[in-house]
Structure 1
């Protein structure tokens, strides 16, 4: 083959697939509501081994010794290492359904947590397509819909570990690309050396509460969570997240394995005009060219990655004896490579809930350097009570 020859890509081009909403598509998708989806190609970790948990914790930048230090964890409330609640994503990050040729952004996350994941647990994920909202017009990217996938994670004792409702915004890529200039911002962000020094000091200042209990009685409405800092987000941060097992859908693969998949599913890939390599749609998270085809400015973070960061901030605050019961977050804007995100929150309420748990209600936020709250949300945390309370 000469350098001017074009390989036979069997439907794979230099653009991402550009589908349109049609009545036929909507009818086909309505007929799929209630379908349980296949997950075999998306499972990354079946067992919560010590190394799998360590790799995931490092991939989200969370060095809480409860997840990573065997001696420390053995002396803790669980008697062994447990995984951060977000480890469910390292078992199966997500699955997508249908919507041929349409683009998608993760829009919203709702998770309820029911049991901790311990070293040695076998986690099985099941996923159902729960439906979608009717198409509506938006200034962001033309017509769009919001769909809903329900993901459940069960352990070897048939105990529900977590239930995750994943909502995605679906849109016509051509319309999103047309509006890209209206969302233009200065990126990469022009950080000064002084600002970078301060950011790094802020990152290193984060300390998990650890073994010191945070008692329910001592928490007051209006209390602030300690802020944690992520960034400037770089390519290695995205690679570390992939290597942790938390993405993608389906699993990334290379060479003949990848090529066979792309030949079978041409819309999963595109040919990068700079490297001439075939790349998956998922590469929007580390490939600027792909991100621009999606209507973004450059490569950007993963939705569930941002939720992992928020869970990191909450588990740091609640300490080893606290328990995250639920979390909700909306993804309001991209977090681009070079961005910095500071995550925190405040206590908005406390009560003994219907399950008899002493809970605190949190309002959470994730603020970037442009003063945008790129992930407003809420969370519910169970805290221990003082003896005799």
Structure 2
């Protein structure tokens, strides 16, 4: 009997006609609302392996700079907009970078409204990944129920033909999953398990005590497991089963893959947990999501700078895939100290996420306001609600 392979219902081609139709979508807006209550915040923090009591311990949070529990910045990803990736039927999409401007804390019980605008298409030349591709740009405003703007986002998505990526076969020579020895795997697991010990918490990191070229304590994640990806989908609140999933595939067949393991049409997200599904796109195995990786990056920064600091800006480029079994070491270095236009004492931090092959899979840049001994308040307390 011939071995069956997963196959997509629709294989799209990036023709001139398809791109012309896609350009008519420019200016289109997607909107969604989401409640970040105690349960949602707790699920998100647990799903990304974040033990910070600022999100999870109401008594601790009440005595902290915000006076009440707040949500980790990455929890904004729970307000799901289908990643605002629409159109181009049967054409694969990859999130390749996101920039966040974080303006105000999201408190437990806040309802967040996201408004995302599709505002640019950037055509690309042939690359080692695909023959023809485009980059879509989406910009978003995130407001709470009080009408306060809490964040802005800029998302870039790469759209490519699946047939083209299969021919190019990026990373197909890699051994996936990585062949860890028992000793190597145990050492990696022990390093990842140290996460709770790395939380600076209520001990301020004073601006005056930081020097340029200072390396912040690295955070280790891995090996990336199927379970970690399932946890991420629960964190994003996008686990739809039976009728809710099937109706979406019936409405848009391109979002489904006929998989021999179930002899059923699986949703597109299956590429993040199933190696055979991912190989249909010319990749060696299942891979992570950029939004998850960026949430881990924000976690590493906040662990290092403590409760009284505030991450004002964080932008990440998802340069390479992180496959099941891969390790991630989040390294952050202070590259500049300055007082910004708001009068806050800031550091600029350049980050790298290295896998076990010593590849930087996600370079990043962040601006963080730190407490200063010259000020009577801290960046976090300055942003706390007074009513």
TM-score (norm 2): 0.91
Deviations 1:278-298 (A, max 9, x none): 211121111222211122111
Find the counterpart in structure 2 of residue 76 from structure 1: 64
Report the more deviating stretch, 71-80 or 13-22.
Answer: 13-22
1:54 aligns with 2:19: no
Distance of 1:105 and 1:56 partners within structure 2: 22
Partners in 1 of 2:9 and 2:124 — Cα distance?
21
Aligned pairs for 1:226-265 within 5 A:
226-244=217-235, 246=236, 251-265=238-252
1:242 Cα deviation after fit: 0.8
2:200 counterpart of 1:209: yes
CA contact (8 A) 1:97 1:129 kept: no
Tell whether 2:95 aligns with 1:102: no
Contact 2:85/2:93 (8 A) holds in 1: no
Inter-partner Cα distance in structure 1 for 2:27 and 2:79: 22
Partner Cα separation in structure 1 for residue 155 and residue 288 of structure 2: 16
| Aligned position for 1:17 | 10
- Aligned partner of 1:303 in structure 2 is 290
Partner-residue secondary structure (3-state), 1:308: helix
Aligned to 2:214: 223
1:250-302: CA deviation from partner (whole Å, max 9, x where unpaired):
x4422233222211111111210122122111211112222111221111101
Q: In 2, Cα distance between the equivalents of 1:388 and 1:235? A: 46
Cα distance in 2 for residues equivalent to 1:304 and 1:146: 17
| Pick aligned residue for 1:63 from 51, 57, 73 | 51
Give the aligned length. Answer: 368
> Residues 182 and 114 of structure 1: is their aligned pair in 2 closer, same or farther, counting only changes over 3 Å?
closer
Q: 1:38 to 1:276 in 2, by over 3 A?
A: farther
Question: Residue by residue, what CA displacement relative to the aligned partner does 1:214-233 show, whole Å, maximum 9, x if unpaired?
Answer: 11111110100111111111
TM-score (norm: length of structure 1): 0.91
**Alignment correspondent of 2:119:** 130
What secondary structure, in the 3-state scheme, does the structure 2 residue paired with 1:122 have? strand
Give ranges in structure 1 of 5+ residues lacking alignment. Answer: 1-12
Separation (CA, whole Å) in 2 of partners of 1:71 and 1:25: 55
SS in 2 for 1:133: strand
Q: Report how far residue 346 of structure 1 moved.
A: 0.2
Aligned partners of 1:181, 1:110: CA distance in 2, in Å? 26
Q: Secondary structure at the match of 1:325?
A: strand
Structure 2 spans left out of the alignment, 5+ residues = 1-5, 377-387
Larger mean Cα displacement after TM superposition, 224-233 or 24-33: 24-33
RMSD of aligned Cα (Å)? 1.6
1:166 counterpart = 2:150: no
Moved more, 103-112 or 20-29: 20-29
Deviates more, 1:18-27 or 1:74-83: 18-27
Match runs of 1:351-366 below 5 Å: 351-366=338-353
Shift of 1:17: 2.7
